Structure 1
Amino acid sequence: MRGDDRDDPFGDIFDEIERMMNEMTGAGTVGDGSGFTSETHVDIYEEDDQVRLVADLPGVEKDAIELKCDGKTLTISAASPHREYDERIRLPARVDEHSASASFNNGVLEVTVDKVGDSAAIDVE
């Protein structure tokens, strides 16, 4: 076996580092060449009676954000000079879309919605 035929024990680590760097810089992604990827960073917190979402929307103006909720999915649409955001997020629990409240500060969107109670049991007679 020649030395260059052996598996590099660090090859997988370096490949993963390269993949993560490409993801952060947008290299190798389809887009407008601005260096932004198409994924939005969203954290979802399920609390006792609420679901809270925190999304990073850097460079977006408050007036450019559109939110829609159908009780199961939250849709975030927004645009900045560098990219467009269009994310559909499946919620971890059914929510009352009419209870939603949202705030936007320094590029961070926070949406809070109340959970809907469990489904009602139906008695069979």
Structure 2
Amino acid sequence: MKDDRDDHDPIDDILREIERVMNEMMGDDVHIDRGGATGFGSDLHLDVYEEDGEVRIVADLPGVEKDAIDLKCDGKVLTVSAASDRRDYEERVRLPTRVDEHSAAATYNNGVLEVTFDRADDSADIDL
């Protein structure tokens, strides 16, 4: 008779705890790929740069067709969703500063996605 404890992988416990702590810190649903079928976020290399009044995000999406990329931004978080024949990507990036999501410009060339945003004004003028 097989003991149920033989099937228990302690690494899964560690990854679940890391996922729980990240969700508490980020306030988002963070998913850690444990080698399952989804592959979400497992290999997405992404860099964020803040320079000269703009925020620039560069992501490597090898093997993804341009039409399979979906970008959403609420001014604070950029969500990158993409799919290829072999893998799906889903990444939420908390931006270093608030951006004007309506200023977004994106390019995709040779598997490299680049998205730029203007920084949002720190305050708004109120007319009386």
- The normalised TM-score by structure 1 is 0.67
2:77 aligned with 1:73, yes or no? yes
2:58 aligned with 1:54, yes or no? yes
- Corresponding residue to 1:85 among 86, 89, 95: 89
Superposition RMSD on alpha carbons, in Å? Answer: 2.4
2:56 aligned with 1:38, yes or no? no
Opposite residue 74 of structure 2, the aligned amino acid is D
The runs of at least 4 aligned residues of structure 1 exceeding 2 Å deviation read 119-122
| Matches for 1:97-116 after TM superposition, within 5 Å | 97-116=101-120
Q: Does the residue aligned with 1:66 lie in a helix, a strand or coil?
A: strand
Opposite residue 121 of structure 2, the aligned amino acid is G
**Number of corresponding residues:** 94
Identity rate of aligned residues, in percent?
A: 68
Q: CA contact under 8 A between 1:31 and 1:37: conserved in structure 2? A: no
Q: Does the residue aligned with 1:53 lie in a helix, a strand or coil?
A: strand
Larger Rg belongs to? 1
Opposite residue 43 of structure 1, the aligned amino acid is D
Separation (CA, whole Å) in 2 of partners of 1:109 and 1:86: 14
The Cα shift of 1:82 comes to 1.0
Separation (CA, whole Å) in 2 of partners of 1:55 and 1:71: 18
